[in-house]
Structure 1
Amino acid sequence: MKKQRMARTVLGDVPAEELGIVYAHEHLIIQGGLGVMKNKDLLLNRLDYAAAEMKDCMQYGAQTFVDYMPLDCGRNPSALVELARLTGAHIIAVTGFHKPMYYDDLHWIYHYPVDKIAELLIAECETGMDRHSYNGPLVDRLEARAGVLKGASDYNVIAPVSRKLFEAVAIAHLVTGVPIATHTEHGTCGMEQIELLAKFGVDPKNVIICHMDRNPDLYLHKELAATGCYLEYDNASRIKYHSDSHGVELILKLIEAGHEKQLLLGTDFALRSYWKAYGGGPGMAHLLASFVPRLQAEGLTADQLGRLLRHNPAEAYSVKQLRR
């Protein structure tokens, strides 16, 4: 008998089918850190504002939010647990790493060996997240566990430290079955990430490549999709980069090419200036309130939208049954 797919939320494992409509790449809380010191717009530290944005999305049917803030750059797992209880939404938390700019040059990512870093990640996935996100030296584990492993690269390059961290993420994935998601800078190095993870034994079908619509090259997207990985799109409303027509066309063309089971949608609204709660816009609800209706107007069926919003993330964010 086939085992039921389970997703790992901060309040415990749930059947993946219960995730409902999923916001596939979000930043609900950014408590501080080096990134915030460099850019104050990244500070998202108000629980009440996060709950307000989430509830606005939930009015349109959202049920699950995947928070992508990784270790020691602003992640606050205690706040994610509280948000889940306040809103009634499912929240999936990430462990792993952002690109190097989020860490100073003396950070432990440069000095710890790969196997020790992997052990830290495995503990976050199987025992519980560190309340302090390993900004150390003391560790205080919560019961809440991470449900995604994250790696990241820079613009057109995967730095040596990032390659090391991708290896640690791969080791942790192969032990825990927790899916991998990646940050691509402006949609570059997606294929290189897949190739690197495959070198470490990871099946591309267990990998989510994020922000690819920042680089709306249809040929590249088809090449990536052919590996079996998921493509996560989150640039709707970012007119400063591309008009929404680019994202719509990518989705339509990839569905036409047979890849509708590999597409995920999110907002990646990691700035105060994107949130209505902080006085910005268009707000996280834009995805369901405006972009999804446009997809429907452009020809996507209810079944296809259900695939992108419900079925694909249920599969992508489920904990994998891997042979050890």
Structure 2
Amino acid sequence: MSGDAVVRTVLGDIPHDELGIVYAHEHLIIQGGLGVMKNSDLRLNSVEKAVEEINDCKKYSAKTFVDFMPLDSGRNPSALVEIAKRTETHIIATTGFHKPMYYDDLHWIYSYSLDQIVDLLIQECEVGMDKHSYNGPLVERLSAKAGVLKGASDYNVIKSVSKKLFEAVAMAHLETGVPIATHTEHGTCGLEQIELLAKFGVKPENVIICHMDRNPDIYVHKELGGTGCFIEYDNATRVKYHPDSESVSLIVRMIEAGFQDKILLGTDFALRSYWKAYGGGPGMAYLLETFIPRLKKQGIPAETVNRFITQNPQNAYSLKKIQSKLVAGGVKDDNEKQGSLSYRGN
């Protein structure tokens, strides 16, 4: 990792080693959208509650939160800026796309050309996020920029429109150096996502595959780790899927396999019923208050556990040094097309 590597937060770019303890996959605000219409528990629309929940995490020295709500699915970048200022924390915002269920069949993801979508993503990363998250028709850009590009797939399948959006995310990444993070449904299609992105010229080490502990098959995790990508785990407390012992065991086995430098941790608490601030539980602080100490009690060295929430996310979320550019039909050599950014990070 280059000593001058930076991470793009909603309040500006900062050196990657200033992130402190990182919650690698969160949902701080979900203002509305089709997902909320289908499930009201997804409505996380209070800045006050977000501030309260973050302040609870700050008691355990949390400093950075990566908000994973992408375009036109409830993201509110203005609220993220306000939360960052009020809590004095670093917030990394996301552009890109969720799985198709978050968009109706007349949405512009189906009708806009690939080049049009790529341009929208690049503008969000380099100029500023749209205040309305492209739910249109007017665009009002904030100064706050997105620091993550997101793609998503469904359960055991990457649908046609999602492949188009993954290609757009890949092209935007190759232009901007902003890292890619993905949604996997129940931990499926992680390898397929890496293969698809590689087809478009994206290096696996610039990709974060999320929710993989929903599918605690160690063989799959080793295969995924072997590609060089980062793997994000966020299933702690979800006993309805499996007990925390399953996640702990998975992490131990991944360390034994030599992948301790590729593990990230978050909570992915996208439901108000998970937040203490909304009267639910266990609350986002559970990660630092309970799960991290449990990993240490399991015998994992403190230095290794701390890496999951400090150095690893610092590396994963830094802007990337891009070696080539993607154009229609394949990857163009740097000698044919030079990037427009003065900084690409790692």
TM-score relative to the length of structure 1: 0.99
Give the match's secondary structure for 1:267.
coil
Give the match's secondary structure for 2:232.
strand
2:136 aligned with 1:136, yes or no?
Answer: yes
Name the CA distance, whole Å, in 2 between partners of 1:48 and 1:301. Answer: 37
- Please show how residues 38-187 of structure 1 align to structure 2 within 5 Å: 38-187=38-187
TM-fit CA distance, 1:3 = 5.4
| Paired residue type of 1:312 | N
Give the match's secondary structure for 2:93.
strand
- Please show how residues 1-324 of structure 1 align to structure 2 within 5 Å: 2=2, 4-323=4-323, 324=339
Name the CA distance, whole Å, in 2 between partners of 1:29 and 1:3. Answer: 32
Give the match's secondary structure for 1:64.
strand
| Paired residue type of 2:129 | M
| Paired residue type of 1:43 | R
Q: Deviations over 1:234-276 (max 9, x none)?
A: 0000000011011101111111111000000000000010000
Q: Deviations over 1:87-116 (max 9, x none)?
A: 000000000000000000000000001111
TM-fit CA distance, 1:43 = 0.2
Name the CA distance, whole Å, in 2 between partners of 1:255 and 1:115. Answer: 41
TM-fit CA distance, 1:81 = 0.1
| Paired residue type of 1:119 | D
Name the CA distance, whole Å, in 1 between partners of 2:118 and 2:194. Answer: 19
Q: Deviations over 1:29-50 (max 9, x none)?
A: 0000000000000000010100
TM-fit CA distance, 1:2 = 4.8
TM-fit CA distance, 1:307 = 0.9
Name the CA distance, whole Å, in 2 between partners of 1:71 and 1:152. Answer: 12
Name the CA distance, whole Å, in 2 between partners of 1:52 and 1:181. Answer: 27
Name the CA distance, whole Å, in 1 between partners of 2:274 and 2:312. Answer: 26
Name the CA distance, whole Å, in 2 between partners of 1:214 and 1:193. Answer: 16
Unaligned runs of 5+ in 2: 324-338, 340-346
| Paired residue type of 2:306 | G
Aligned residues: 324
TM-fit CA distance, 1:302 = 1.6
Deviates most, 106-115 or 2-11:
2-11
Name the CA distance, whole Å, in 1 between partners of 2:305 and 2:61. Answer: 13
| Structure 1 pair 3–18 and aligned structure 2 pair: CA distance change class (3 A) | closer
Which segments of structure 1 move beyond 2 Å, counting only runs of 4 or more? none
Name the CA distance, whole Å, in 2 between partners of 1:302 and 1:4. Answer: 26
Give the match's secondary structure for 2:222.
helix
Name the CA distance, whole Å, in 1 between partners of 2:3 and 2:58. Answer: 29
| Paired residue type of 2:7 | A
**Identical counterparts, % of pairs:** 71
| Paired residue type of 2:165 | L
| Paired residue type of 1:44 | L
Unaligned runs of 5+ in 1: none
TM-fit CA distance, 1:321 = 1.6
Name the CA distance, whole Å, in 2 between partners of 1:239 and 1:278. Answer: 20
Root-mean-square deviation (CA), in Å?
0.9
| Paired residue type of 2:20 | G
